[in-house]
Structure 1
Amino acid sequence: MAASHHTLQPPCRLAPVPAPPSVKGLEDIPPIRAQFFYASHIPIDDPLAPATIVASSDARQAKLPLRPFSPADNAALERAWLSLSSDRARYNHDYARRPSSPSPALEREVVEKVAAIVTSLAAKHKEKHDREGPAPPPAPDGLSSGLTTAKTPRETASVPVCCSELELDASAELRREFCALTRRKLPALDQDRVLEAVMGQLARLRMEAETAARSATPSEMAGLVAPTPGRALAQLGTSLGSRVPTPPVDGPPLASSLPTGGLGLTRPPPLDDGISGKPFVRVEPSSRSNRSSGVATPDDKDRTPRSILRGRARGDSQASKRGRPALQDRLEDSVEVPVGISRLHMVSLPVLQMKPIYWSPVNDIATVLRATWFYRDTMVPVEPSVANQLEAGYRELRPWTETWSDELKSALDVGALGEEKISHRLWPEDTDKTFKTKDGLPPEPLLSSDPFCAARCFRGEAAAEGSLEPVHSELDTALPPPEARTYAKAHVIYKDATTAFLLKPSQKPSAYYGRRPLSKIMKGITVGLPVVRGFDRAAWERVHDKRAAARNQAAAPMVSPAELRQTAEQGVCPGCELDKDRGQVTDLVLVAHGIGQKLSERVESFHFTHAVNGLRRAVNIELESPTVKSVLRPGQNGIMVLPVNWRHLVNFEDDGSSGAHDEDPKATYAPDGFTLKDIEPPTIPAIRSMISDVMFDIPFYMSHLKPKMIAALVSEANRVYRLWCRNNPGFAEKGRVHLIAHSLGSAMAIEVLSKQPTRVPRPLDLSTPAPDTRFFEFDVTNLFLLGSPAGFFLLLERGGLVPRRGRLKPGADAADTVAKDVVGDVGMFGCLAVDNIYNILAKEDPIAYLLNGTIDPLYAASLRTAYVPSINTSFFKSVSDTVMRGLTGAPVAEPAGPAALTSGDEDAYSHPPNKKPLARLPSQLELEVHDFTREEIAEKKAFLLNDNGQIDYFLRSGGGPLEIQYLNMLSAHTSYWTNQDLVRMLCLEIGRVPGRQHALASMRAVKKGKRRFGDV
C-alpha cells in the first residue's frame, strides 16, 4: 500500500508519533525519527520469502541481516516504547549518576519499595509451596531446608532459596522497579540481600502459621499469617543494614508512604491481551505461574491434565538446554506489539526481542534494535553505544540552533585553530581521573543503551539493542573500556540539525598540521564517516530494496489530495481501511503433526515448524497463480497456515505413577510404578533414544496414554485458534477453519472429530478461562489426511467413515443428511463433523492406508484410482503415454493435471462441463449383478463426505523405468510438505466455491467404466 493512500494524520497508522515532552533546557530540540530493525534471515513483510533453517549451533554465530520494520509497525513500536517512559525512573536515574551519596529521602524510598517487594514475594511463595505440599521444617539458621543455591548475575555470594522461581521473581521485580544504574549504585538493591530477606520472611510466616494453627482462633490466625508492612520494613532495615530509621512495628500501612505513579508497586500486572498467548514470553513475572505452552492459566489448572502442565514446565528446561533464552522470557513485565504483514510475530518491549506468536520459538527469536543515528550513505544504523554518544554531544552542542551556525562561521574565519574548538570528542578521555568515579567503578554514559533503562529513564533519545543472552548484567550500563569501544579516538563535527561527521585522529582539525575538515564539509566534500540523525526510508530502499523503491515510485495515488483532507477531517484513513480489508484472512488452516516430534528437541532440522513455514510460503505463492485465482470463490481473501505442535505438551515419563523412585524406602510400591528408563537397557543408547523419540508415539497412543495425547492436541489447537480470533476480530463469525493432519495426527483427528459436536456455536466465547480439551472450539470445514494410518485404526475399531446426521453442508440434499442408512450420530467412531474429507497418499508411503473402502468396499472397487492433478506433467511422458495407448488400442486418458503450465492445456482444474454427457444404459449383466440400492446409499455417503464423491487421492511420483519404489519409500512419508501438486490442490479445494456442483472436473470420482459421477 503506497503512503499516498494514507492521510498521515491521526488515526492513520502511518501518522508521525507525537514527540514526548523534552527535559528542561531542550524544549526546542528536533524530534528523533527513530527506526526499529530486526535481525533475521526471513523478512516478516514478505510472505513469499524462502524459509531458511538455522542450526542451533550456528544461530548465535550467524551474521543476520538487519531489516527495518514497516512504517506502520515502526509507528506502533515507537508509541509503545515511548509509553514505557517514567518521570520517576528518570529522576532516580539522574540522581544515581551523581557522584554524591544518595539522600536519606531516596534511601528511605528505596527501602520502602524493597520491603514491599519482600512482603509480596514471601506471601506469593508461601501460597505456592502450600499448594504444592507441606512445607519442609525450618533450618537452624531460620531459613527453610531443602533449598537450592541461586547466584546473582554477578556470580557473587550464593543464597539458599526455596525454589529457582524465587530468584527469577526477585530479579524481575527489582528490574521492573529500578533501572540498572540505580540497582548498581544502591547497596540496598543487591539481589542477594533481597533473597535473604525474603527467605527470612518466608520462614517467619511459616512459623507464625504453625503457631497460630495450634492455639489461635481463625481471626487471630489471619492476623498472624500476614505481617504488617511496618514489621516487614523493620525486618528489612535490619537485614540490609540500612541507616534509615524504620517506623514502629505496628505503624501505618506501607502503601500510604509509597510514591504514587511511576514506580509504584501497587499497580496490577497487565492482563493477557491475547497477542502472544503467553506461551513463550513471560509478561507478568510475579502474578502468574510460568508454563511454556500457555494453554492453561491459573484459573483453569483444574481443567488441564497434570501431564500437560508438567510437559510445559519441562519445556522451559528443554528450551534452556537448546540455547533458547528461557530465563529472559520470564524476566520482564513488558509490552507486546504484533508485527509483520501476516501478524505472525510480536516484539517484546523493552526486552527488544521478536518472537513468533502462534508457535514455540525454534531458533527464530530475533533481536530488535532501536536506532536513532544512521550512516548517511547506506542508512545502516549506528551502533547503539556510539549513537548515544552522538546524541549526547548533539544535546550538549545544540547544532540545531542559530548559535551553532554562527560558531561554525567563526571557526571557518579563524582557521584550523577555530575548527579545533568546534570538534567534539566522541568518547571521554581515557585518563584514570576521568575514567574512574569515586567508588572505583567506570562512569555512566549520559544516555544508557541498556534496553530497560533506555525505555524507562529517557524520552526516546536513547538507542538500544536486544540480546539473545538470558539477562543483562548491571555492569553493562557503564561506559565500555577503551579497548572495547567503537571509534575509540574519533572526533565529531556536527554540521547542522541532522548531519554529523565521524573523523579519525588523522582527519580531525589540527592547527599544527593545518587540517581543516570543516571547510571541506561546508563545501560539500565528504570527510570521514557522515552520519545523520533520523531514518530516511527512501534512502534505505534505494540502496537495499530497489524493488520496493520502484514499486512505491510507480504506485499512483488512488485518492486525490482533496479527498485525503476530507477523510482526515472525518477521522477516517482510506489507506488504513483498505489495508484492514486486505488483511482479513478468510481461511485458517491448522496443521497437526504425527510421530517423531520428540526427536526435534535434539535435532533442529527435524522440527515440524520448519515444514509448516515452508508450506505456508508455498501456499502464498500458489495463491498468486492465475490458474488458482480463476477458481477462488468471490470474497476469498487469503489462507493462513499455522502449526499445532502438541507433542511437546506431553511427558510420558511422568504420568503420575509413583513407587519406583520414591525417596522414602518405606513407601508403598505400586506394580505400575516404573518408567521407560527403568526397563531400558544401557546398550546402543543412540539407537534406543531414536526409537523412543520417533516410534514409541504409536504404542503410547494405543495405550492408557491415549486420552493424554488427545487432550494435548485439542488444547493446543484451541489455543492457537483463540489467539488467531483475538488478533483477527471478526474471524470467529465469518472465517472458516480447515485441518491438515499428518501420520498419527490423522488418527487423533479422526478420534476427536468423531466426538465433535455436529456444529460448534458461533462466535467463540473468548472470555472463558481456558481452551477446551475435549473437542475443537471451531467447526472443521475440510479435513486433509496426509500419510494417514486412519484406515487401520478404523479397522481395529470396526468402524467406517459415515456422514454426520444433521450436518447440512452447501449443495447437499437435506433428506440425505437425516436418512437412517446414510448418516450416523455423534460419538460413532468414523462419523466425523466435517464437510469434506481428503485422504492424500504418496504411492510408496508405508504408513498410509486407503479410506474409500471404509465407506463401502464394493463402491470403492468400482472407482478408478484417483490422482492429485499434477502441475509438472513431463512432455515426453505425456507423448509416450499417448503413443503406447495408441499401439495397444487403449483409449487415451483425459489430462490428469494442469499441463497448461507446460503444454497449454488448462482444462485439468476446470469446472464440470455445462452439457450433460450421454447416459450409458447399463447392460443386462450389470442389472443382474449390481445391488443398486447399496450402490446408491454408498454414493450418497461418499458425496456427503466429499463433494467429489471419493476420499482417496494418490500423489504422482517420478515414475519411469528407473523408479525404485523401495528407495522412494524411505522419504515418501515426509515428502508431503514440499509436494507442489498437493499445495495447489489445497489452495483450490479450500478456496473454491463450496458445494458438489462446484467441484473441479479433475477431482471428481470416476467409475472404472469412465463415467464421471455427479456430472450435470
Structure 2
Amino acid sequence: MIFIRVTGRVCIRRYSSGVQAATGSKTPPKLHIKWYYATDIPTTKPSWFDYKQEKQPEKFIPFSDFDSKRLEKRFQQLEGQGALSGAAHGTAADRVSSATKDTIVDPIVEVNEDKLFQVDLQKYILSPVYWEGSSYEVRRGTWFNSDGLPLSRKISDLVEKGYHEKRPYTFNRADVGDTLSKFGKDAVQKFNRKDRPREITEPPVVSTNDYDDLMKLQDDEDNNGQSSKMVLYSDAKYAAIFPDTMNNQFELGVIRNFCTSPVSLLSVEKIQRGYTSDLDETIFEKLPSNPIPGLSEIFQTEVGSYLTGGGSKEEAKTKSPMVKSTNYSDENDHNESKQNSQMKSVLESDYDRETSDSKANRQVDHLILCIHGIGQVLGGKYESVDFTHSINVLRNKMKEVYTSDDSYKKMTSNQYPDNNTLQVLPVSWRHKIDFHPTKNFQSYDANGNFRLPSLSQINVDGVKSLRNIMGDVVLDILLYYEPRYVEKVFHAVVSELNRVYSLYKERNPHFKGKVHILGHSLGSAIAFDIVANQREKVDQVNEETSQDLKFDVDSLFCIGSPVGVFKLLNQRNIRSRASLGPDFDPRDPTNLASSPKCVNLYNLFHPCDPIGYRMEPLVSPRFANFKPEPVPFATKSIHSQIKGLASFGEGIQQKISSASSWFKKDETKAKHQDPWDENALGDILTSLVSEPKTQDEPANEVDMRDRDLSTLTELNRSGRIDYCLPMGVFDISLVSAVSAHVSYFEDTNTAGFLLREVLASGDDCEDSRKVVVYKKK
C-alpha cells in the first residue's frame, strides 16, 4: 500500500510489486444468483382489505434451485430484449418497443409448489395464481447482508455498479497496511462507543474520490441523488455499507481492516457478493414447522373460555393468541402485524419449497375445487380462519396419507411414487358479496348519509360477543336464502368455479383429467344446488348471466352438509338424472326432486357435527333404516389416530367440568324442587357438556336388496351416499360438536376418504354390498 499526496488529497493505491505480491484477478468473478421472496410485509392485498404498504419487508426466503434458475434465465432473456430497463411496468406491448410481438418474452414465471404462484419480473412481485391473495416483493439476490438476506434491488444495482467501477477483485489484501497502529488494539471498542473521543472522530474529512475502494451510494430517484450511505469494497467478495457521516480516516480505517472479519461494527452492514449455500442456514433455522393453529384449537379455547365465564378481553387474548380481536366493532383497527404474521406462516410452511422439474410438472388426473362455507368473515378476527390455508392443510394431508400407505399407490398409474395425481384448489366467494356485519350498506339518503345501519349497530348488549359471532357465521346462511342475495351468491360461486377451472386448463394444457367439487358446510349446499341446476346439454356458456359450469362434475363431495335438512324443508327428494328421464328440467321450480348432474354424490359427516345431515333418506325414506357407511381409518397407524383424538379434549377438560358443576342443580333437592327454582338452561347446558356415552348396539348386517342397490348406484358407484367419520374417543359432546364442524380439512381420515374415493372414481359400480341396519324399536 502506498499513500500518495496529490494536490492536497490522500489517495490509497493497491498495486502489484512484481514478484513480491501477487495481484488479484483482472476480470470480475462469476456472480452466483439466487432469487428470494418476502414473507412478512405484503406489497399489495386484495381490495377488500383496504391495505397500503407502510414499511419494507425484512424477511425473505429463497426459491428452490429449480425455480431460481428458471427466474434467472427468464430475467436474462428480458434484459437482453431491453424489457427490464427503466420503469416499464405495463403490458407486454408497452414493455418491449424494440422487439416484434413474435419475440416478446413473457415476464410471468410460474413458481413454487405445483406452480401455484407466479412472479412478475417487471414488477418484482410474487402472487398466487388461482385465488385472490396478497402479493410480495421478489429480490434477485446478488448482494447479501450478514443474515443471509438479499439487499433491495436498488441498493444491489448501485453496489454492483460501483463494484465494476472500483474493481475490488484486483485488490490484494496482503498489501493492506495496519492503519490502526496509532489508535492501539482497542480501536474496535472505541469505534463502537457512542461517545468516541474528539481526537478520534475529528480527523480530516475525506471524499469518496480520495479512495479507490470507497463509493457514495447515489440514487437518482431518491433525495435528488443525495444518499446517506457509502459503500467500501474490501475485495472480490466482501464490502460494507455505512452512514456517510463515517467519513474520517479513523472510522474508515476500522471498517477497512475489519470488513471481512466476524467483528461487529456499530452501524456498519457487512455485505457479500454472490450467493453461497451457507447463507440459507440462518433463514431456514427461523422458519416455523407448524405455523397456524387449527380451527379446532381456536374453538376449543373459545368454547372453554365462554363456559367458564370468558374472562376479560385481555385474558382471552392471552389464552388464545391466534385471536385478533374480540371486539367486533373495532374491525377497522385490527392489528395489521397479526394478519401479516398469519400469511408469513402460510408462505413459509404451507408449500413445498423444494420444487423440482418432476414436481412442478407432475401428472395430475384429478382437479378438486373446494368451496368454503359459513364464517369466512371471521378471517378478519382469527388467524386460522383462512380458507386457503385450510385447503393447503388438506392438500398436505392427502400427500401424507398417500406416501404412508402403499394401498393408495396401487390405485394410481403414474411413474412417480410420491405423486397422488390430485390437485386441490380453493374457491372463495364471500368477499364478492356486498354485506359485512360491521359495514353500512352503500345506500344513502338525500343528504348523502347512510340510509341504513350496520348489523353491529342494531345489536343488543346481552351476550353481545355471542351475537357478534352468530352474525358473522349464521348470517351467511340467511344471505343464501334471502332473494336479494341468493342470486349474487350463486353467480359468484359459479363464475369463480369457471374462472379457476379455465385458468387451470390454460396453465396446464395437458390436463385431461376429471373435475370434482368439494363443498363444506353452506358451501356444500351451494355446490349441490349448482350441480343440480346443470342442464344435460350446454351449447355455449354466457359468462355474464349463465348458471352453467364449463366442465362436467365427476364427484360432488358434501362435507358437514346441511343439504339434507334444506331439501326436507323444501319438500324435495334427491333423485338421479337417469331416474327422471330426458325431459327433466333442473331449473323448473315446481320440481319435486333435486338431481345433481354428477357421476358420484358423497355426503361425509362427523357424528358430532350438528350441521351435518343425512341425504340417503331423501332418496327414499326406507334408506333411513341403513346406518351410514363408516369411514375406515386413513392409514394402518390406528393407534396414532386414537392418541391424537384422545388428546383433543385434555386442554379444556377441567374447564368443562367446572362449567358443568356451575350449571348443575343440587340433586338432593331435585325431587322436591319448586317450579320457580328450576334451572332449565342449566339442565340443557349440563346435558350438552356431560352427555353420557351409550354403548353401540350389536351390528345387524344384511345384504342390500338389488332394487335399493340399483337406486343408490345411480347416484354413487359404491352404492352409498352417506359416509360417517370415526368418532374416536371424544368425551365432551359440546366441544366435539363445535370442533367436528370446523376441523374436516385437518382430519387425516377425511383426507384418506377423499383420496380413496377420487382415485376409485372410474371403477365399475358395485354389484352387491352389505349394509348395517338399525334395530326396530
Q: TM-score, normalised by structure 2?
A: 0.60
Query: Do 1:802 and 1:824's aligned partners in 2 also have CA atoms closer than 8 Å?
Result: no
Q: Does 1:40 align with 2:39?
A: yes
- Aligned match of 2:401 in 622, 632, 648? 622
Q: Which residue of 2 aligns with 1:75?
A: 69
The letter for the 2-side match of 1:39 is A
Supply the distance in 1 between the matched residues of 2:153 and 2:632 (Cα, whole angstroms).
Answer: 54
Q: Which residue of 1 aligns with 2:602?
A: 838
The letter for the 1-side match of 2:472 is D
The alignment's C-alpha RMSD in Å is 5.6
- Structure 1 range deviating more: 618-627 or 751-760: 751-760
The letter for the 2-side match of 1:681 is I
Supply the distance in 2 between the matched residues of 1:593 and 1:417 (Cα, whole angstroms).
Answer: 67
- Aligned match of 2:548 in 763, 775, 782? 775
Query: Do 2:233 and 2:240's aligned partners in 1 also have CA atoms closer than 8 Å?
Result: yes
- Aligned match of 1:475 in 217, 222, 225? 222
Q: Which residue of 1 aligns with 2:234?
A: 493
The letter for the 1-side match of 2:412 is R
Supply the distance in 2 between the matched residues of 1:642 and 1:875 (Cα, whole angstroms).
Answer: 28
Supply the distance in 2 between the matched residues of 1:954 and 1:640 (Cα, whole angstroms).
Answer: 24
Q: Which residue of 2 aligns with 1:797?
A: 570
Q: How many equivalent pairs are there?
A: 572
Supply the distance in 2 between the matched residues of 1:857 and 1:430 (Cα, whole angstroms).
Answer: 97
Query: Do 2:744 and 2:750's aligned partners in 1 also have CA atoms closer than 8 Å?
Result: yes
Supply the distance in 2 between the matched residues of 1:859 and 1:71 (Cα, whole angstroms).
Answer: 56
The letter for the 2-side match of 1:946 is N
Query: Do 1:759 and 1:833's aligned partners in 2 also have CA atoms closer than 8 Å?
Result: no
- Amino-acid identity (%): 26
Supply the distance in 1 between the matched residues of 2:203 and 2:109 (Cα, whole angstroms).
Answer: 41
- Structure 1 range deviating more: 73-82 or 852-861: 73-82
SS in 2 for 1:663: coil
Q: CA deviation at 1:360?
A: 2.2
Q: Does 1:984 align with 2:748?
A: no
Supply the distance in 2 between the matched residues of 1:598 and 1:683 (Cα, whole angstroms).
Answer: 20
The letter for the 1-side match of 2:36 is F
Query: Do 1:591 and 1:641's aligned partners in 2 also have CA atoms closer than 8 Å?
Result: yes
Query: Do 1:824 and 1:831's aligned partners in 2 also have CA atoms closer than 8 Å?
Result: no
- Aligned match of 2:497 in 717, 739, 744? 717
SS in 2 for 1:1006: strand
The letter for the 2-side match of 1:629 is Y
Query: Do 1:592 and 1:741's aligned partners in 2 also have CA atoms closer than 8 Å?
Result: yes
1:18-167 equivalence runs, <5 A: 32-40=31-39, 65-82=59-76
- Structure 1 range deviating more: 948-957 or 966-975: 966-975
Supply the distance in 1 between the matched residues of 2:537 and 2:580 (Cα, whole angstroms).
Answer: 19
SS in 2 for 1:839: strand
The letter for the 1-side match of 2:222 is L
Q: CA deviation at 1:713?
A: 0.9
SS in 1 for 2:509: coil
- Cα distance, 1:946–1:687 mapped onto 2, change above 3 Å: same
Supply the distance in 2 between the matched residues of 1:263 and 1:821 (Cα, whole angstroms).
Answer: 57
Query: Do 1:781 and 1:836's aligned partners in 2 also have CA atoms closer than 8 Å?
Result: yes
- Cα distance, 1:942–1:391 mapped onto 2, change above 3 Å: same
Query: Do 1:821 and 1:937's aligned partners in 2 also have CA atoms closer than 8 Å?
Result: no
The letter for the 2-side match of 1:72 is F
- Aligned match of 2:119 in 347, 368, 379? 347
Deviation digits for residues 329-378 of structure 1, max 9, x if unmatched? Answer: xxxxxx432211311112233433322222222xx543322221246x98
Supply the distance in 2 between the matched residues of 1:947 and 1:969 (Cα, whole angstroms).
Answer: 30
Q: CA deviation at 1:37?
A: 0.8
- Cα distance, 1:388–1:797 mapped onto 2, change above 3 Å: same
Deviation digits for residues 767-811 of structure 1, max 9, x if unmatched? Answer: x89477412211111111111111122113322221223xxxxxx
Q: Which residue of 2 aligns with 1:942?
A: 712
SS in 1 for 2:608: coil
Q: TM-score, normalised by structure 1?
A: 0.47
- Cα distance, 1:823–1:739 mapped onto 2, change above 3 Å: farther
Q: Which residue of 1 aligns with 2:130?
A: 358
Query: Do 1:856 and 1:938's aligned partners in 2 also have CA atoms closer than 8 Å?
Result: no
1:558-569 equivalence runs, <5 A: none
SS in 1 for 2:573: coil
Q: Which residue of 1 aligns with 2:612?
A: 848
SS in 2 for 1:605: coil
Q: CA deviation at 1:394?
A: 1.7
1:584-595 equivalence runs, <5 A: 584-595=363-374
Q: CA deviation at 1:599?
A: 3.3
Deviation digits for residues 385-420 of structure 1, max 9, x if unmatched? Answer: 6644542332122245xxx36xx49x83x9558999
Supply the distance in 2 between the matched residues of 1:416 and 1:385 (Cα, whole angstroms).
Answer: 34
Q: Does 1:958 align with 2:728?
A: yes
- Aligned match of 1:398 in 167, 192, 204? 167
Q: CA deviation at 1:710?
A: 0.6
Q: Does 1:651 align with 2:416?
A: no
Query: Do 1:853 and 1:860's aligned partners in 2 also have CA atoms closer than 8 Å?
Result: yes
The letter for the 1-side match of 2:238 is A
The letter for the 2-side match of 1:475 is D
Supply the distance in 2 between the matched residues of 1:820 and 1:849 (Cα, whole angstroms).
Answer: 24
The letter for the 1-side match of 2:616 is N
Supply the distance in 1 between the matched residues of 2:256 and 2:474 (Cα, whole angstroms).
Answer: 72
Deviation digits for residues 23-82 of structure 1, max 9, x if unmatched? Answer: xxxx9766643321113389xxxxxxxxxxxx999x999987532112332233334445
- Cα distance, 1:337–1:977 mapped onto 2, change above 3 Å: same
1:422-821 equivalence runs, <5 A: 445-446=217-218, 475=222, 478-481=225-228, 485=229, 491-494=232-235, 496=236, 499-500=237-238, 502=240, 532-536=272-276, 538-540=277-279, 579=358, 582-635=361-414, 637-652=420-435, 661-663=444-446, 677=454, 681=458, 683-684=460-461, 689-704=468-483, 705-731=485-511, 734-758=512-536, 770=543, 773-805=546-578
SS in 2 for 1:359: coil
The letter for the 1-side match of 2:750 is L
Query: Do 2:409 and 2:420's aligned partners in 1 also have CA atoms closer than 8 Å?
Result: no
The letter for the 1-side match of 2:163 is Y
Q: Which residue of 2 aligns with 1:308?
A: none
Supply the distance in 2 between the matched residues of 1:386 and 1:889 (Cα, whole angstroms).
Answer: 70
Supply the distance in 2 between the matched residues of 1:825 and 1:769 (Cα, whole angstroms).
Answer: 19
The letter for the 2-side match of 1:584 is Q
The letter for the 1-side match of 2:523 is G
Supply the distance in 1 between the matched residues of 2:763 and 2:631 (Cα, whole angstroms).
Answer: 19
- Aligned match of 1:866 in 629, 635, 650? 629
Q: Which residue of 1 aligns with 2:661?
A: none
Query: Do 1:845 and 1:969's aligned partners in 2 also have CA atoms closer than 8 Å?
Result: yes
Supply the distance in 2 between the matched residues of 1:972 and 1:889 (Cα, whole angstroms).
Answer: 20
The letter for the 2-side match of 1:803 is S
Query: Do 2:608 and 2:740's aligned partners in 1 also have CA atoms closer than 8 Å?
Result: yes
Query: Do 1:594 and 1:746's aligned partners in 2 also have CA atoms closer than 8 Å?
Result: yes
SS in 2 for 1:719: helix
- Aligned match of 1:336 in 92, 108, 112? 108
Supply the distance in 2 between the matched residues of 1:876 and 1:645 (Cα, whole angstroms).
Answer: 31
Q: CA deviation at 1:262?
A: 7.5
The letter for the 2-side match of 1:866 is E
Structure 1: gaps of 5 or more residues: 1-26, 43-54, 94-173, 178-259, 274-334, 421-428, 436-442, 449-473, 547-575, 666-672, 806-818, 879-887, 895-918, 921-931, 1011-1016
- Cα distance, 1:996–1:692 mapped onto 2, change above 3 Å: same
Supply the distance in 1 between the matched residues of 2:151 and 2:641 (Cα, whole angstroms).
Answer: 57
